[in-house]
Each structure stands twice: as structure tokens, then as C-alpha cells.
Amino acid sequence: MSEHVEGKQVDGYHCYLKEPHRPPSRGGNTRALHQHVLEIEDAKYSFLALGSQKWVFKTDRVSFEYERKGPYRNIVKSSIETVDKNGRAVVRGNRDLKTQLRTTPSRLPASRREQRD
């Protein structure tokens, strides 16, 4: 059962990396999975998406559906609708999908022998 948030302004926006960090020389974290957390009226809502680009700015109004799983409020990504300060609908953030998640951390940029020393 999903609930709905309609036309609210965001009080806080945070983004956290969920996959192992990768240095820029190995491709960086641009396409890594991040957890996006929206704070609206002392409640926190979250969803997982690629990249750390913001989906909602502080001056925007946002509407979305979410599902409660215990103490968590998980946003249904496909339902996010953002309206900017001028009243126009905008699409922000990286809305692509990723077939395989990063599981192993990248190794140090040195030879195995140097790592043992």
C-alpha cells in the first residue's frame, strides 16, 4: 500500500554512496548507486538511484508516492514529480538503470609486493 506526498517543499537533501568507492582513474563514482534522502516536515524519505546529482532543489515543490517498510519511507522513483520555482515541471537526476552492481572494492594502485611491505 503506497501513500502520497503532494506539492511539498524540501527542508533537507542528503546523498550517500552505497557501493564501494572507486578512484577517478578507475571510473569514479558517477554511475555508482547512491541513497538519496529527502527531509520534508521532520520526516525522512529515501530512494536509491545512480549518481549523486540532486533530483530536487530547495526551491522546488515535489510530489511522489512512497511505501512504508517498518520505520522507513521508501520513495517510488518513477512517481517523483518536481515543479521548479517558476511553476514548470522539470526532470532532474540520473534516472538510468544499472544491470550489475559494484561488489568488490578497487585495489590499491601499487603492486601486490609493495602492498605486503
The predicted-structure confidence for 59-113, as pLDDT tens digits, reads as follows: 999 999 999 999 999 999 999 999 999 999 999 988 888 777 777 776 666 677 7
Q: What is the dihedral of CA 53, 30, 33, 67, to 10 degrees?
A: 20
Domain boundaries, the chain: 2-100
Q: What is the model's pTM?
A: 0.83
Distance in angstroms (rounded) separating the CA atoms of residues 112 and 33: 29
